[in-house]
Structure 1
């Protein structure tokens, strides 16, 4: 396979991903971005976490997490406390409202991806599934 073909595959994969994010941002009308939801999802799965732990897990910088957390806290989707062992250490945790927000965001993402894949024929979906399975292994 030529480098041009690989570049074209990567470019088109990125375009599909970017388009899905744009569509999700338009349809998920909550004044929150994908990064906010990633932080909430981390808290939902891993429980209470420090901004630096969240940053490592989701691939963002600790200052970015701090900035995102401000909005999550103001919307009552997360709360900030201090560590019992070290009062200087900040800990974030998700609220029940935050859990519901993650569930709604995931549901919206599933709906958008379903619409995307419905544009393909059954044969194309089968081919794509085989390709994804091969790439996953």
Structure 2
């Protein structure tokens, strides 16, 4: 058996953790709400409104892909398209009240999933984990 160094071990543990969280979280999502659509909805819940181009850059996908995803959210009544008053060629995606309600329900389900996850950790361990995750996230952002 090949012994891994600490960085390789952490990378494998992180990958396994991500897969476990994604699999668990996907079970929470309703069957008619795939993860990419939920990500768009979650983003709009915090950003209020964004253009299709902004989403394409954020998700690193094509404009037609975002148009397809957003069209599904519009049909569900979770997102609306709003034409810019300043430039009629620019269209924003904006979360609706129904979309905001759905997103809030999903956040509650996520809280249920993660309830008790950090029990048994000391304050010092939690502080170290928070600092470590922030550092790791910042590093990952430079790779995007």
Shared fold (TM-score greater than 0.5)? yes
Question: What root-mean-square deviation, in Å, do the aligned CA atoms of Structure 1 and Structure 2 show?
Answer: 2.5
2:140 is matched with which residue? none
* 1:28-61 deviation digits (Å, cap 9, x = unpaired): 22421232222112222222221122344x4332
Check the 8 A contact 2:29/2:35 in 1, yes or no. no
Q: Unpaired runs of 5+ in structure 1?
A: none
Q: Could you tell me which residue of structure 1 aligns to residue 43 of structure 2?
A: 42
How far off its partner does 1:129 sit? 1.4
TM-score by length of 2: 0.74
More divergent stretch after superposition (69-78 vs 79-88): 79-88
Runs of 4+ aligned residues of structure 1 deviating over 4 Å after TM superposition are none
* Counterparts of 1:128 and 1:39, CA distance in 2: 33
User: By percentage of residues, which structure has more helix?
Assistant: 1
TM-score (norm 1): 0.78
Equivalenced residues, count: 130
**Which residue does 1:52 correspond to in 2?**
53
